[in-house]
C-alpha cells in the first residue's frame, strides 16, 4: 500500500474512532507503522471525548491541576466551558478564543484535548453526590514509591498531537487562562512509539474493538451524568536503564515473557499470538509464572482495560507514563495491578513514582461537563 | 509535487548536505513543509560532521558534559573513539557497540551525532596549544541573566533525529558509557518547527549555500586540526509568554520587524524578501530601528552565521535553544549579539539564561578528533 493511500485510510477511520465506533487495536498497529504527523483532525464534539480510543498520537502531555477553591463548582464549570470553546477550535485547526499565536494552531495533526476530574473536584456540596464510587485512591501497592510531585490532582487534561509545536501551543492555551483559578501541579510529557525505552513492544493486549461500550465507556448506570465517560488510571513508572541493560537478552525476555525483536510471546512467533502459559520445556514453563505477561494476563473477562503507554525521557530519568482506561478501575484494573505488585519479574527494574485516578468526562454536545452540572443526564 | 516524490528529492539531497555541499537555506524550507520522520540516513564519516548544515531534524538534544580529569587527554580520545564507533552504527540504523536495545536503533530517521569541545577540554599540556583563539567565553552582555545550570561545559554532543525514540536511544548510548569519565551537566531538549513559541517565523536569514566554506567551515589556517570543523555558540533564551501575549499583534510585529502570518519583513510580502530599512511611512521607519531584524541584520559581509533554532517547552518554562554556527564567533557572531543586547526590542520578552561556545570537530575519517590528537592535520 502506498504511503498516500495508507494515510487516506487512516484519516478515514479517525472520525469513527473519535466517536468510539472505530478499531482501537487496529489503530495501534497503524500508529506504530505510520508515525509521521497527520494533517487530519479529530472531532471535539461527540458521545465520547477524542484521544481515548483514538489511535495514539506521537506526542502527549498530561496536565495535572488543583482547583484553588474546591467549593466553587461554578468556577469549575467556567473552566470547563472555556476549555471546551478553545479545544473545539484548536482541534479543528482554528485559533483558540484568546489565541495570540493563531499561526501555531493551523496544523492540528490529530490534536485531542480530553479532560478528567479527580476526587477533589467533587468536594462542593452540589457535586459530592455525583462522584463515581470508584473515584478514590488506588490501594497502596508494595512496589509503589510514590512522589508527591506526581500525585493525584483535582483535574487532568490529556493533550495529544502528532506535532510537538501544536501540542505545546495547546498546552499553553489550556494552562494560561486558568491560572487565577488553579495551581499547575505537573505536566507529564511523553511520546508514543510502539516500544518502550527497555526496547519492549508495548501496548499489545487491548480489549476487542466491539467491547469498548462494555469495557471502556460508562453507561451511566451508577452516575447518570457519566454515560459516555470512562476512568483513567495514570501511573508514572520510572525505569532503571542501568540495571536492565546489565541483564542478558534471554533474561530480559524471560522477565517479560515476550521476545524483544517482535514482542511475540515466548510460546509464539507473532506479537498478537495468544501466549500459552501451560507450555513447558524440560518441565519448566516456557513463559515463567513471574513474567510480566503471565501476571498481567486477564483471569476473568472483566480484567481488561485500554493500555495507552507513553515514554518519557528527561535525562537522567526515563520511564513510562502508563495510562489505563476502563469503565471501573476497581473491578478491571486493580486486580491486575495487585498481581503485578505481588510478583512481576519486571518490578526489579521498574518503580511506580506517580499514581492518580480520574473520571474522564463524557463527550460534549455543548461543553465538557454539561451533564455533571445539568440535571444528571 | 506529490508527497512521495518530495520525500525522494529530500532524501537525495541529504548525502550532499551531510558533506557540506548541499543547500542549507533550501533545506530549512523543506524541513518546515515536510516535517514527518524521514526513513533515510545521514553519513557519519566525511569532511564535516552531519547535523550542522543538514536540514534540521524535528527533534534534538544538546548534551553538556564535563571531563572528570581534564588533564587526561587520553581519556578524552578514548571517549571520542567510542562515540565515533557507536555513532557510525546508530546513524546507519545499526545497533551501537554495546547496544542492549538494538530494535530501537532500526529507524535512524536522519539521526546525526555531532561533537564539540569547550575551552576546558584543552586544559592538558598536550592540547593547550591547539585551542582555537576564539574558543573563550563570550563578552558579558547586559541582557544576560545566565544560570550556572545551563553554562559552559567541556564537551557538547548534539544529537538530532526526526524520531523522538531514536533520539532518546542515541542520547542513552552517548551518555551511559562515559559516566566514569564525565559528569552530565545538562541535556537541552528541543524541537524544530520553523516558528518559535512566540509564533514568529524563525531562522529565515542564513548564509548563501555557496558561502559555507567561507562562513561556516574552518579552513585550518589558525589551527590545522580544525579544518572542516566550525564553532557553535549555544544560547538558551527564556521567552516570557505572558508579557508577550499581553502585547497587541501590531506591537508584536513592530518588535520583530516581520509579519506574524508569514514572516515577511514589514516592507515586503514574502518571508525571503529583503527588508528595506530606509522605508518610511509618514516620516516613521516602517521597520523600527530597534526591531529585532534591524538590529540583527548584517552590517558587514562577515556578520553572517548559520542559525539553528530549537524550541523548548518544559512547562511552565519555554523558550529557544539558539544554536549559531560560524567559522569565527568573535568576528561573525559577537557584533550582532552585541547590537541585540544594546537595543533589540525583543529583549523585553526574552532573557538569555544559558551560554556556551564550542569547537565543533571536523568530520571523521576514522574517529572524531583524529586530527586533534594526530600530527595537527
Per-residue exposure over B226-236, b if at least 16 CB sit within 10 Å of its own CB, e if not = bbbbbbbbbbb
Measured between CA atoms, the residue of chain A closest to residue B196 is A165
Closest in A102, A165, A249 to B311, CB measured: A165
Q: What is the CB-side half-sphere exposure of residue B21 using CA atoms within 13 A?
A: 9
Read off the DSSP letter of residue B213.
I
Tell whether the model's pLDDT for residue B22 goes beyond 90.
no
Mean of the per-residue pLDDT values of chain A: 89
Residue A258 DSSP code: B
The pLDDT value given to residue A357: 98
Exposure on the CB side of residue A37, measured as CA atoms within 13 A: 26
Interchain pair B315, A184: CB under 8 A: yes
B309's enclosing H/E stretch is strand B306-314
A9 pLDDT above the threshold of 50: no
Whole-angstrom CA distances from A161 to A35, A139, A202, A238, B233 are 11, 32, 19, 24, 32
Q: What is the mean pLDDT of residues B60-89?
A: 97
pLDDT digits (tens, 9 = 90+) for A204-246: 999 999 999 999 999 999 999 999 999 999 999 999 999 999 9
pLDDT at B91 over 80: yes
**Is B191–A165 a contact, with Cβ atoms under 8 angstroms apart?**
yes
Among the ranges given (A196-200, A330-334, B16-20, B34-38), the one the predictor scored with the smallest mean pLDDT: B16-20
The three-class DSSP label of residue A122 is: helix
Comparison of pLDDT for B24 and A357, the residue scoring more: A357
> Is 80 exceeded by the pLDDT of residue A247?
yes
More confident residue, A107 or A30: A107
CB B341 within 8 A of CB B141: yes
Q: What stretch of H or E contains B245?
A: helix B241-246
DSSP-assigned states of every residue in B144-191: ----GGG---SEEEEEEESSHHHHHHHHHHHHGGGTTTEEEEEEEEEE
Contact yes or no for B3/A4 (Cβ under 8 A): yes
Nearest to A315 among B3, B102, B175 (CB): B175
The mean pLDDT value for B37-55 works out to 89
**B interface test, pick of A192, A315, A319 with most B CB neighbours within 10 Å:** A315
Q: Are B272 and B292 in contact (CB under 8 A)?
A: no
Task: Give pLDDT tens digits for B255-306.
Answer: 999 999 999 999 999 999 999 999 999 999 999 999 999 999 999 999 999 9
| Contact check, Cβ <8 Å, A316/B35 | no
Across the interface, which of B36, B100, B172 has its CB nearest the CB of A37?
B36
What is the residue whose three cell numbers read 487530519? A40
Judged by DSSP in three states, B125 sits in: helix
| Closest alpha carbon within chain A to B169 | A197
Run of H or E residues at B113? strand B112-117
**Among A302, A369, A375, which residue's Cα sits nearest to residue A49?**
A369
Which pLDDT tens digit goes with each residue over A92-136? Answer: 999 988 888 999 999 999 999 999 999 999 999 999 999 999 999
Contact A168 B244 (CB under 8 A): no
User: Which residues of chain B have a CB within 8 Å of the CB of A63?
Assistant: 315
Identify the pLDDT of residue B308: 97
The pLDDT of residue A14: 34
CA separation, residue B251 to residues A105, A120, B320 (Å): 20, 42, 21
A103/B169 CB distance under 8 A: no
B310-352: per-residue pLDDT in tens?
999 998 899 999 999 999 999 999 999 999 999 999 999 999 9
Q: How far apart are CA A250 and CA A262, in angstroms?
A: 14
Contacts of A160 in chain B (CB under 8 A): none
Closest approach of chain B CAs to the CA of A16, in angstroms? 24
Selection from A171, A152, A162, A148 nearest residue A61 by Cα: A171
Q: Do the Cβ atoms of B3 and A2 come within 8 Å?
A: no
Among all residues of chain B, which has the CA nearest to that of A249?
B100
Q: Select from A165, A195, A198 the Cβ nearest to the Cβ of B195.
A: A165
In terms of CA atoms, which chain B residue is nearest residue A105?
Answer: B199
For residue A310, what is the nearest residue in chain B, using CA coordinates? B165
Contacts of A193 in chain B (CB under 8 A): 163-165
Bridge partners of A115, per DSSP, are A157
Give how far the C-alpha of residue B162 lies from the chain's centroid of Cα atoms, to the nearest Å.
Answer: 15
* The C-alpha cell that represents A305 in the structure block: 482495560
Identify which of A103, A164, A169 has the shortest CB distance to residue B260: A103
Residue B299 exposed, middle or buried by CB count within 10 Å (0-12, 13-18, 19+): exposed
For the cut 90, the answer to whether the pLDDT of residue A58 exceeds it is yes
CB contact under 8 A, B197 and A168: yes
Please indicate whether, in this complex, the C-beta atoms of A193 and B58 are within 8 angstroms of each other: no
Cα(A283)–Cα(A295) distance, integer angstroms: 20
User: Is residue B137's pLDDT more than 90?
Assistant: yes
Q: Show the cell assigned to B374.
A: 594526530
Closest Cα partner for B76 from B67, B85, B84?
Answer: B67
Cell of A14: 479517525
* Whether the predicted pLDDT of B39 surpasses 60: no
pLDDT value of position B372:
97
Cβ within 8 Å, pair B165-A36:
no
**Span B138-150, average pLDDT:** 97
Q: Which of B73, B72, B3 is nearest to B38 (CA)?
A: B3
Nearest Cα to A178, choosing from A86, A114, A113? A86
Q: Do A103 and B37 touch (CB under 8 A)?
A: no
Q: How many CB pairs under 8 A join A and B?
A: 115
Return the pLDDT at A138: 97
Lookup: cell for B349:
520578552
Residue A29 Rama label (left phi>0; alpha psi -120 to 50; beta): alpha
Residue-wise DSSP of B9-65: HHHHHHHHHHTT-S-HHHHHHHHHH--SPP-----SBSSS-TTSSSPPPSEEEEEEE
Contacting residues of B for A198, CB less than 8 Å apart: 101
**Helix ranges, chain A (H):** 3-18, 24-33, 73-90, 125-128, 164-175, 212-215, 241-246, 249-256, 292-296, 329-332, 334-343, 370-373
Query: Do the Cβ atoms of A103 and B199 come within 8 Å?
Result: yes
Q: What cell was used for B213? A: 566554506
Q: Determine the straight-line distance between the first and last CA of chain B, rounded to whole angstroms.
A: 45
Q: What pLDDT was estimated at residue B374?
A: 83
Domain range annotation of chain A: 3-373
- Closest partner CB to B168 (pick from A172, A313, A316): A313
Closest in A36, A199, A252 to B36, CB measured:
A36
Selection from A166, A123, A188 nearest residue A356 by Cα: A188
CA distance A315 to chain B (A): 7
B73-90 and B164-175 are packed helices; what angle lies between their axes, rounded to 10 degrees? 150
Contact B316 A3 (CB under 8 A): no
Cβ–Cβ of B168/A318 closer than 8 Å? yes
| B261 with A103: Cβ contact below 8 A | yes
Contacts of A318 in chain B (CB under 8 A): 168, 172
**Rounded distance between C-alpha atoms, residue B140 and residue B142, angstroms:** 7
Closest chain B residue to A189 measured between Cα atoms?
A: B314
The region of weakest confidence among A49-63, A225-239, B86-100, B137-151 is B86-100
Q: Can you give the three-state secondary structure of B329-340, one letter per residue?
A: HHHHCHHHHHHH
* Percent of chain B whose pLDDT exceeds 70: 89
List of residues 6+ apart from A3 with CB closer than 8 A: A34, B3, B4
**E-assigned strand segments in B171-285:** 182-191, 230-239, 280-281, 284-285
Task: Assign B375 a pLDDT band (cuts: 50, 70, 90).
Answer: low
- Which 8-state DSSP code applies to residue B139? P
Would you call B172 and A242 a contact, using CB atoms and an 8 Å cutoff? no
Instruction: Give me the pLDDT at residue B14, please.
Output: 35
User: What integer is the mean pLDDT of B95-120?
Assistant: 93
Q: Which residue in B165, B176, B249 is closest to A193 by CB distance? A: B165
Average pLDDT taken over every residue of chain B: 89
The answer to whether the Cβ–Cβ distance between A191 and B165 falls below 8 Å is yes
Do residues A310 and A60 lie in contact, with contact meaning Cβ atoms separated by under 8 Å?
yes
The rounded percent of chain B whose pLDDT value lies above 90 is: 86
Whether the per-residue pLDDT at A31 is higher than 60: the answer is no
Tell me if A223 sits within 8 A of A306, measured CB to CB: no
Q: Do A316 and B168 touch (CB under 8 A)?
A: no
d(CA B294, CA A365): 50
Q: Suggest the residue from A11, A164, A173, A185 to mutate for an interface test with chain B (most B CBs closer than 10 A).
A: A164
Q: What is the DSSP letter of A239?
A: E
Query: Cβ of B149: how many Cβ atoms within 10 Å?
Result: 11
Mutation target to probe the A interface, by most A beta carbons within 10 A, among B168, B249, B252 is B168
Identify the closest residue of chain A to B176 by CA–CA distance: A242
The single residue listed with the C-alpha cell 522477565 is A255
Q: Are strands A112-117 and A155-161 parallel, antiparallel or unpaired?
A: antiparallel
A71: pLDDT strictly greater than 90: yes
Distances (CA, A) of A115 to A124, A154, A156, A158, A362: 19, 11, 6, 6, 9
Amino acid at each position: 500500500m502506498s504511503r498516500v493511500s495508507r494515510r487516506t485510510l487512516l484519516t478515514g477511520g479517525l472520525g469513527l474512532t473519535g466517536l468510539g465506533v472505530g478499531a482501537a487495536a487496529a489503530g495501534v498497529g497503524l500508529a506504530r507503522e505510520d508515525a509521521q504527523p497527520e494533517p487530519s483532525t479529530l472531532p471535539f464534539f461527540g458521545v465520547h471525548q477524542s484521544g481515548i480510543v483514538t489511535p495514539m498520537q506521537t506526542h502527549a502531555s498530561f496536565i495535572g491541576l488543583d482547583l484553588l477553591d474546591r467549593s466553587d463548582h461554578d468556577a469549575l464549570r467556567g473552566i470547563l466551558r472555556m476549555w471546551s470553546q478553545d479545544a473545539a477550535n484548536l482541534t479543528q485547526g482554528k485559533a483558540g478564543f484568546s489565541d495570540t499565536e493563531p499561526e501555531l494552531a493551523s496544523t492540528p495533526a490529530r490534536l485531542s484535548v480530553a479532560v478528567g476530574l479527580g476526587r477533589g473536584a467533587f468536594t462542593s456540596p452540589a457535586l459530592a453526590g455525583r462522584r463515581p464510587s470508584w473515584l478514590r485512591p488506588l490501594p497502596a501497592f508494595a512496589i509503589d514509591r510514590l512522589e508527591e510531585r506526581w500525585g493525584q490532582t483535582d483535574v487532568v487534561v490529556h493533550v495529544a498531537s502528532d506535532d510537538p509545536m501544536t501540542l505545546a501551543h495547546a498546552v499553553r492555551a489550556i494552562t494560561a487562562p486558568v491560572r487565577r483559578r488553579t495551581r499547575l501541579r505537573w505536566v507529564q510529557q511523553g511520546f508514543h512509539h510502539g516500544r518502550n525505552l527497555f526496547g519492549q513492544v508495548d501496548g499489545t493486549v487491548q480489549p476487542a474493538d466491539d467491547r469498548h461500550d462494555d469495557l471502556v465507556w460508562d453507561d451511566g448506570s451508577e452516575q447518570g451524568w457519566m454515560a459516555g465517560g470512562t476512568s483513567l488510571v495514570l501511573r508514572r513508572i520510572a525505569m532503571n536503564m542501568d540495571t536492565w541493560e546489565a541483564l542478558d537478552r534471554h533474561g530480559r525476555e524471560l522477565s517479560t515473557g515476550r521476545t524483544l525483536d517482535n514482542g511475540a510471546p515466548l510460546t509464539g512467533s507473532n506479537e498478537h499470538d495468544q501466549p500459552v502459559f501451560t507450555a513447558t520445556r524440560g518441565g519448566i514453563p516456557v513463559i515463567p509464572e513471574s513474567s510480566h505477561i503471565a501476571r498481567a494476563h486477564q483471569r476473568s473477562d472483566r480484567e481488561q482495560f485500554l493500555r495507552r503507554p507513553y515514554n518519557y525521557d528527561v535525562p537522567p530519568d526515563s520511564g513510562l507514563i502508563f495510562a489505563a482506561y476502563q469503565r471501573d478501575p476497581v473491578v478491571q484494573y486493580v486486580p491486575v495491578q495487585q498481581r503485578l505488585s505481588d510478583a512481576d519479574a519486571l518490578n526489579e527494574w521498574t518503580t511506580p513514582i506517580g499514581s492518580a485516578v480520574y473520571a474522564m468526562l463524557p463527550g460534549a454536545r455543548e461543553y465538557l461537563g454539561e451533564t455533571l452540572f445539568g440535571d444528571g443526564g
